[in-house]
Chains A and B, each alone.
Chain A
Amino acid sequence: MSYANVMAEKANIVRRATGLDFTTYAMGRLAFDYERMMADTGYDVAAARQVQRATAVGDTPLVELKNITRLVRALSEPGRGARIFVKDEAKNPSGSFKDRRASLSVHEAKQRGFPGVAAATSGNYGAAVASQAAKAGLKCIIVQEAFDSTGLAQPEIAEKTRACEAYGAEVLRTSVGPELFYVFLQVLKETSFFNASLYTPYSVRGIETLGHELAQQVKALTGRFPDAVVATHAGGGNVTGTARGLLAAGAVDTKIIAASVDLSGLHMASDHDFNRKSFTTGHTGFSLPFTTNPDRADVPRNAARALRYLERFVTVTQGEVFYATQALAELEGMERGPAGNTSLAAAMALARGMDAEQVLVVQETEYTGAGKHPLAQPNLAKRLGIEILRGHPRGNFPGKRIVIPERPDQMSVADVDLDHVRERYIENALAMLPPGTPLDPVDILFLAAETRLSPATVEEKIHAILGPA
């Protein structure tokens, strides 16, 4: 079938492959009932934990990074430098928090009698779905964007290929381009497998256990809920699920901070840029488009809606993440990441601005290994003519120059202007409607919840975008 024909069938294929009729949640002209969609999973946090415990997912250690905290305090004003903890999600069966994300989907697929599960993902999520499918006795197909037109595989994705195959999955590897989704839809159509999408309510509900657990662990260890949690931000599920889990645990005052690697200047669908990113996830190439337009996902209504929860959105440089990864290995004895250490790099800068009695949690680690490693990525970068040097991180230039900081006090975060992100979100939401469509009151309330703005401010912003009626 042609590209256009398959894409035209998208809604039907996805409805059958998720068992979800997203149209039933529609309200007004552009709104939908997000909380009802989440509730219809039939799981709350306790039920999700029960499913996850059956396959040894979750209950990961919360580790205090005492040496990194000491390092940060040595660079801070007296009385400053928050205690930094990390949730060691690498201890999950396939090595990342993505096991939580895969668990409910695979459980549902098994309960409902699907013959197998499929997912379009080049990351840890593929290994997680494959691992969960292996435990459930289901077949599994993973579709990855894996190599460029010269045949050069991105080493981190090559490792995910190996991991998925180790768990018994069929892996389809494509060259660069968004038509991976076309290949994926064909797979769903042909196999009638369950779409274990990263973005269904099952996926996000599965991550809520992470936020819930860490809130309880921090409370037990320190007597308080975390003052802030920093999460590596890409498609939005990690931020959304963690934030919802914290709220469910009662940690209503914990500040949610998203952190992404700055890849500005590199095009996410470019064959040339594909192997010049040095990061395959946790970067702005995913986080900016998904935050401003979450429903660009492989399901019509994305359950990952980061903008609802973000109090701050920061970026760090590629070099800073490699530096933080090295610090974690050499000061804390934990070889993890590197992409998952994006939030750690941000935390090393953010903690300096916090009081010493405050608690800052880095909410994940991921496994490391051949290909996905701070040696493999800089070595590939050098091979492609990207300069690697020590210097001030402000000299970092994605695709041209990776600057490894010379000193830890050079690490900083750059704030993404959330007000601008909210305006972009509203612009994108309005662009889905035919010009001149009047909004219902429920749409204004929806946009207010989506953007954490008051309904009056949403109306002002709509007026500014559309101009005088």
Chain B
Amino acid sequence: MTINAPAGQWVEIHVIVLPAGKRAPQVPEDTRAVPLELRAKGFLRAAAALGDAVEVSTVAGRTLAGRLAAVNPAYDHGFGEPVAELLSIGPELRKILGSAS
């Protein structure tokens, strides 16, 4: 068996909280058609491979169970490319201020 993560590794687990079809009655159709999922991070209790049923210890001291989804998951949100539609706003506004003074 492949071991992706040793015990003690910081990982993310994935849990299906409510399967599609068991969602709250008030949710719209597109949401009702998909499960309610949960992702949480913690320190892996025992060595495991991706997809295994595992337990983690969270920083709040709880033990949570789920499928091993990611090992040392990255923060990959960022800024992205400059947005052309925003680039010229500053020069335009400074021009109005310049002619106003």
Contact = CB atoms under 8 A, between A and B. Distances in A.
Q: Are A and B a genuine interacting pair, yes or no?
A: yes
Interface of A: 3, 67, 70-71, 73-75, 116, 139-141, 146-147, 149, 153, 155, 158-159, 161-162, 165, 168-179, 182-183, 190-191, 267, 269-272, 322-323, 326-327, 329-331, 370-371, 373-376, 378-380, 388-390, 404, 407-408
Q: How large is the interface on B (under 10, 10 to 19, 20 to 34, 35 or more residues)?
A: 35 or more
A179 B58 contact: no
A388 B31 contact: no
The 8 A-B residue pairs with the shortest CB-CB distance, nearest first, are A330-B90, A379-B80, A74-B100, A371-B77, A158-B77, A170-B60, A149-B34, A175-B37
A169 B96 contact: no
Given A175-B35, A269-B26, A327-B89, A159 B96 contact: no
Contacts of B60: 116, 139-141, 169-170, 191
Contacts of A169: 59-60
Nearest to A378: B83
A178 B18 CA distance: 12
B29 to A, nearest CB: 9
A267 B39 contact: no
Interface string B3-44: 000000000000001100011101110110111111111100
A176 B3 CA distance: 32
Contacts of A270: 28, 30-31
Contacts of A147: 37, 39
B1 interface: no
Interface string B50-81: 00000000111110000000000001111111
10 contacts: A3-B18, A149-B37, A170-B62, A175-B36, A269-B31, A326-B86, A331-B97, A370-B78, A371-B78, A376-B77
A322 B66 CA distance: 39
A174 B17 contact: yes
A390 B80 contact: no
Contacts of A116: 60
Contact of B89 (A139, A174, A326, A370): A326
B83 A168 contact: no
Nearest to A372: B77
Contacts of A162: 75, 77
Given A67-B97, A178-B24, A326 B36 contact: no
A116 B59 CA distance: 12
B90 A326 contact: yes
Contacts of A272: 30
A165 B37 CA distance: 20
Contacts of B17: 174, 179, 182-183
Contacts of B62: 141, 170, 190-191
A178 B83 CA distance: 33
Contact of A330 (B22, B61, B93): B93
Given A267-B28, A376-B80, 6 more contacts: A172-B39, A173-B39, A179-B18, A183-B36, A329-B90, A370-B75
A378 B87 CA distance: 13
A159 B58 CA distance: 19
Given A169-B60, A269-B26, A327-B93, A375 B82 contact: yes
A173 B95 CA distance: 45
A177 B27 contact: yes
A331 B94 CA distance: 7
A177 B97 contact: no
A375 B40 contact: no
Nearest to A159: B77
A294 B38 CA distance: 27
Contact of A172 (B35, B38, B94): B38
A441 B73 CA distance: 59
Contacts of A374: 83, 86
Given A74-B97, A269-B26, A376-B77, A177 B36 contact: yes
A163 to B, nearest CB: 10
Contacts of A191: 60, 62
Nearest to A373: B79
B96 to A, nearest CB: 6
Contact of A177 (B31, B59, B81, B101): B31
A74 B38 contact: no
Contacts of A370: 75, 77-79
Contacts of A408: 93, 96
Nearest to A324: B89
A333 to B, nearest CB: 11
Contacts of B33: 271
Contacts of A146: 39
Looking at B60, B76, B78, B80, which has the most chain A CB atoms within 10 Å of its CB? B60
Contacts of B81: 375, 379
Contacts of A390: 85
A170 B96 contact: no
B86 A378 contact: yes
